[in-house]
Homo-oligomer: A and B are copies of this chain.
Amino acid sequence: MRPKNLEKEEAIRTIALQIIAEEGLENLTMQKLAKAANISPRTIYIKYDNKEDLLVKLFIEEVLSAYEQAVLKDFQFDMDFSEGIKKLWLNGFAYFKNNRHAFVLMQYGKSSPLLNKAYQQKSIKQGDFFGPIMRFLEHHVVAGTIRNFHHDIQRALLFSPLIDLMSEYFDYQERPEQIITEETLLQCCDAVIKGMLK
Q: Mark A129-141, 1 if CB is under 8 A from B, else 0.
A: 0000000000000
Tell me if A66 is interfacial: C-beta within 8 Å of chain B. Answer: no
Tell me if A69 is interfacial: C-beta within 8 Å of chain B. Answer: no
Given A24-B114, A161-B161, decide whether A153 and B168 contact each other with a Cβ distance below 8 A: yes
As for how many copies of this chain the complex holds, the number is 2
Question: In the complex, which of the residues B26, B120, B194 contacts A25, with contact meaning CB atoms closer than 8 Å?
Answer: B26
Tell me if A149 is interfacial: C-beta within 8 Å of chain B. Answer: yes
Known: A24-B112, A107-B111. 13 other contacts (CB 8 A): A22-B113, A25-B26, A26-B112, A110-B110, A120-B171, A147-B187, A150-B179, A153-B180, A153-B188, A156-B188, A160-B164, A192-B195, A194-B194
Chain A interface (Cβ < 8 Å from any Cβ of B): 22-26, 104, 107-108, 110-114, 120, 147, 149-150, 152-153, 155-157, 160-161, 163-165, 167-168, 171-172, 179-180, 184, 187-188, 191-196
